[in-house]
Chains A and B, each alone.
Chain A
Amino acid sequence: MSKSQPMRLETGGRIDRNKPLSFTFDGKKYAGFEGDTLASALLANGVRVVGRSFKYHRPRGILAAGAEESNALVTVGLGALEEPNVRATLQPLYDGLAARSQNCWPNVRFDIGRSLDYLHFLWPAGFYNKTFIWPHWHWYEGFVRRLSGLGKLPPGDDPDRYVHHNVHCDVLIVGGGPAGLSAALAAGDSGARVVVVEQDSLLGGSLLWSEGDINGEQGDIWLEDAVRILRQRDNVTLLTGTTATAWFDHRMVIACQMVTDRRIPGEGEGPRQRLWKIHAREIILATGAIEQPLVFANNDRPGIMLASAVQQYCNRYAVAPGKRMAIATNNDSAYGVAGALRNAGVDVVAMIDSRQKLAGKAARLVRDQGLTVFHNAMPRDCRGDKGVRSVSVTKRDSLETLATLQCDCIAMAGGWQPAVHLFTQARGKLRYDASPGAFVPDEIPPHMHVAGMVAGALDLETALEQGREAGLAAAGDGLEVRPRTRSKNTGALHIERAWSGQRSSRQWIDFQYDVTLQDIDIAVAENYTSVEHLKRYTTTGMSVDQGKTSNVNALLALAARTGRTPGEVGTTTFRPFYMPVTLGALAGRDSGEFYAPLQRSPLFACHEQLGAQFEDYGAWRRPRVYPRNGENEQQAVNREAVAARTSVAVFDGSPLGKIEVQGPDAAEFLNRVYINNVPSLKTGRARYGLMLNENGIIIDDGIFARLADNHYLVHTTSAGANRIHAWMEALLQGDWPDLDVLLTPVTSQWANIAVSGPRSRELVERLETGIDFSNNGMPHMSMVTGTVDGMPLRVLRASYTGELCYELNIPADRGAALWQRLLQLGADLQLMPIGVETLGVLRTEKGYLHVGSDTDGNTTPGDVGWGRIADRKQGEFLGKRSLSRTFNTRDGRLEFVGLTPVQQGGVLAAGAHVIDADRSGAPAPTRGYVTSACYSPNLQRYVGLGLVQDGSRRLGETVNVYDAGEVQGARISAPAAWDPEGDRLHA
């Protein structure tokens, strides 16, 4: 083969040698073939160091060939398309792929952070907890945070598109290997709707790389047939490149599909990833098993790989991970690998087997192949910092060296752990089975089936049989038949665990998070012997790979050191997600402009025309202010606020919540939800009301008006419109079904324009409405109906500015016309459109409460000066009983008051703490808060509102206000700083 791929085998593999691809790794150009993964292409090019470990910055190579890879995390793509922490083993190669190593500086071959490794004895397990407590964690935090983390956030927003897709099926099969395909054939035959999810880009699982005969033919031929049959079936959906990563209640599985694995700007039109939400009647798990590493000194060096991965690279990708292989094992599965490597022409130097002797098939293979085997032996240590060069072999029970083997790759066969992640997420129970030496499914949850290696099957025949049985059961009634979970051949591995007696060098358990056997010793010595404690103290299994290659060894080590069986030790809890999912896939289309529905007032275009500065208030995009001639925001607010008190202002109040309440029991209903007396309100009049929850806490306020005998209009805060409507619905349906009341939310049916200011009457009288706007004809707190231009008009005289004010309500589609009309008619009155910020200034000057700003989750009517209204009301209302709870009547409650700076030019800010007058700074007990504050252009000083302990009894007292280190005096006053007598309202 070409020199550019020195480790590529001459023949074989499922790669297309006619389609060469070029890619870069850390800026250097390499070649590969269609069908490669990034990992196989790097190995083909002899690249051994691909990353650095998390804690010690040790050089690391490729460990595995699939999802369990814990070392080869790389960043793929450039610029905003960058994706960190991509497993090189799962990334299909494409032309132009650009990948970079992570967690190293200046580069992956020479990394300054490695100094942490040379000083490793300073930071064993638990060193954080012991070291960073003096003088304080925060003293170290900045430094530690800079050191930690895996990968970097991409610069810029992700330009790719991600979508969600819901699907319902009878049978979901997770895993497209022999067992999964066998299940799909059986279930598909029955006509059931079947979805098969396979993580790999190809179906076939182990058939893609291991030798095995099915029905006397090569596995290959069976695979081709199976896939062809399944593809022809309309009732079977095959999803490749799709990882089932989380199980949720009622049998929903989330799977993430790589629709395109390429990260090339501007390429393709479809989504990059698709998140499948699969609702299944029955679930078959054929998720296979994950080979476990062996634990020996420096077993994390580049060139040390899982044996099955070596076989995969060799057979599927035609890549020899080494020229001279040593194979270390504790079971029979390694002998098949040795045979495969020999057949591919790779030199197997020796087998290092920790067991006493061999029997059966393995023994035959040794004879036939003429393999050198060290029995009862273990790797003692290995050399080669940037790639293994040699391994020393000792007797299992002593440290007597038997040999030192020159080799450039060590394959580890430590047994197979079923991939039980989804199984245990679904609350399936595991049992430790000594014969495969793994935690296997025991109690299977309802509507779930297991087949193949995940069920403990170790040979093809059993896997296919289990798959077929599971497929039939799931497609049938799903309840009666239970596939057998135990293989008749589970003893086939002849596995025997062994631990090296050597203690001088570190032996890795968790490669990604750098947890060693020595760390587990420390945890045990400090009595962290519960598996959950061990995990948290040592961080084993907490890495990005979630312990796929580390959990079993950690548990077995813990068991061995505490004299328990693995079953007694148990496993930690498996939680979603099995594999990480990009945030983009989870967000789907619900990001950016689609994050939440944007609500716009029917007058939106009018505001744009006036050059409004917009802001999102809750769901509504509203004008903040209308700056003119290069004004800044403060200047614009000042101009608008002065005009509103000297001439006339128009304000778009359309988002104001509006609920129509109708029916014979409308008055009774409202009387129960307001603290105010409702039935005494006469038709045509309006009242300000407070609503409480059953705890007596204010949840909303607003004006309600009686339009007719059995017809009320309830105004809520803009933010409370949906919440209050839903709350009223719940009351009527659940608590008072006997009340005959109909609720209609009409917020968006009506445009609302508040015309406010001393000259507002003059302006509204210029409209032809037939309404008498005089103070006698329409007094403060009244509501009348009329028409303008033949359209219905509802006018409410009520005020949130403190000035004479008429709120004009008109059907939404006519709102813009009315607004324009008012602008024309008011031109000679110095009419001024005002925004939400200006309204906030006006109401703060006037001392009007804003529920949510000036109240919190403890505020009762008594705290805001409405105690007497509540007390005097006859009859029951929600929350009334709670008002007499001691908590609500005791001294020291936070009460709503005005706050005025004592000093000339003093500034108040919302959020500032109120402290005692004799305290000049922190620390000091908080006596309340400034809840609203702003500069008042009408009073030419700052005005503030706040919640202050016993405030209503302390009017005139001076307190201190603490804000970001500054302290100043403020006088407690009544809330209203502007027109406290309210004369202007009744003008």
Chain B
Amino acid sequence: MFRIPCPFCGERDEHEFVFGGQAHIARPEPAGQVSDREWAEYLFFRDNPKGVHLERWQHRHGCRQWFNIARHTVSHEILAVYRLDEAIPDMNREETV
């Protein structure tokens, strides 16, 4: 059961959050001119790394804000937490949270 440091509220239990899938999925624009293949990749293709995964979470039963988490998919260690308007932190320099 994760302990998630919400960037707005502080550390809370996983129960209060919902998972929103991979972060930084850019919608191809203008969508009307995108090929079927490119559109299908946007809709259906996601990374499945053994390692750091950047993903969206929402503090639904708290501040209801969405934010990003960098999570290691083996240890489930949360390496970084950052707001949607923040850049992806440099994970090499980042101390564990």
Contact = CB atoms under 8 A, between A and B. Distances in A.
Q: Do A and B bind each other?
A: yes
Contacts of B1: 248-250, 252, 277, 279
Given A695-B43, A876-B31, A885-B39, A734 B2 contact: no
Interface in A703-730: 726, 729-730
Nearest to B83: A733
Interface in A672-703: 694-695
A279 B12 CA distance: 12
Contacts of B56: 734
Contacts of B30: 876
A765 to B, nearest CB: 42
Given A694-B43, A734-B56, A250 B64 contact: no
Contacts of A882: 39, 43
A250 B2 CA distance: 5
Contacts of A885: 36, 39-40
A876 B2 contact: no
B72 to A, nearest CB: 11
Nearest to A885: B36
Contacts of B42: 694
B32 interface: yes
B3 interface: yes
Contact of B66 (A252, A277, A730): A730
B27 A735 contact: yes
B67 to A, nearest CB: 9
Interface in B30-69: 30-32, 34, 36, 39-40, 42-43, 56, 58, 60, 64-66
Given A250-B76, A726-B60, A734-B66, A279 B3 contact: yes
Overall SS of chain A's interface: mixed
A886 B36 contact: yes
A737 interface: yes
B39 A734 contact: no
B89 interface: no
Contacts of B3: 250, 279
Nearest to B40: A885
Interface in A242-258: 248-250, 252
A229 B34 CA distance: 72
B28 to A, nearest CB: 9
A250 B71 CA distance: 12
A277 B14 CA distance: 13
B39 A881 contact: yes
A880 interface: yes
Contacts of B76: 249-250
B84 interface: yes
Contacts of A876: 30-32
Nearest to A877: B31
Interface in B5-41: 13, 18, 20, 27, 30-32, 34, 36, 39-40
A880 B31 CA distance: 8
Contact of B32 (A427, A733, A881): A881
B65 A733 contact: yes
A733 B84 contact: yes
Contact of A737 (B39, B43, B85): B85
A882 B43 CA distance: 9
A729 B84 contact: no
A740 to B, nearest CB: 15
A167 to B, nearest CB: 12
B60 A734 contact: no
A252 B14 CA distance: 11
Nearest to B27: A735
A427 B77 CA distance: 13
Contacts of A733: 65-66, 84
Nearest to A734: B66
Nearest to B30: A876
B64 A729 contact: yes
Contacts of B31: 876, 880-881
Contacts of B36: 885-886
Given A248-B1, A250-B3, A733-B84, A880 B32 contact: yes
A659 to B, nearest CB: 14
Contacts of A694: 42-43
Nearest to B39: A881
Nearest to A252: B1
A730 B34 contact: no
A881 B84 contact: no
A335 B59 CA distance: 60
A27 to B, nearest CB: 44
Nearest to A251: B3
B27 to A, nearest CB: 7
Contacts of A730: 20, 58, 66
A694 B39 CA distance: 10
Contacts of A166: 13
Given A277-B1, A730-B20, A881 B34 contact: yes
A252 B3 CA distance: 9
Interface in A835-893: 876, 880-882, 885-886
Nearest to A693: B43
Max chain B CB contacts within 10 Å: which of A250, A427, A730, A735? A250
Nearest to B65: A733
A728 to B, nearest CB: 12
B8 to A, nearest CB: 12
Nearest to B58: A730
Contact of B2 (A249, A737, A880): A249
Contacts of A734: 20, 56, 66, 84
Contacts of A252: 1
Interface in A235-285: 248-250, 252, 277, 279
A254 to B, nearest CB: 9
Contacts of A881: 31-32, 34, 39
Nearest to B20: A730
Contacts of A695: 43
Contacts of A726: 18, 58, 60
A478 to B, nearest CB: 13
Interface in A942-958: none
Query: 3 closest pairs, A vs B, by CB?
Result: A881-B31, A249-B76, A252-B1
Interface of B: 1-3, 13, 18, 20, 27, 30-32, 34, 36, 39-40, 42-43, 56, 58, 60, 64-66, 75-76, 84-85
22 contacts: A166-B13, A248-B1, A279-B1, A695-B43, A726-B18, A726-B58, A730-B20, A733-B65, A733-B66, A733-B84, A734-B20, A734-B56, A734-B66, A737-B84, A876-B30, A876-B31, A876-B32, A880-B32, A881-B31, A881-B32, A885-B40, A886-B36
Given A277-B1, A730-B58, A734-B84, 8 more contacts: A250-B1, A726-B58, A726-B60, A729-B58, A733-B65, A735-B27, A737-B84, A880-B31
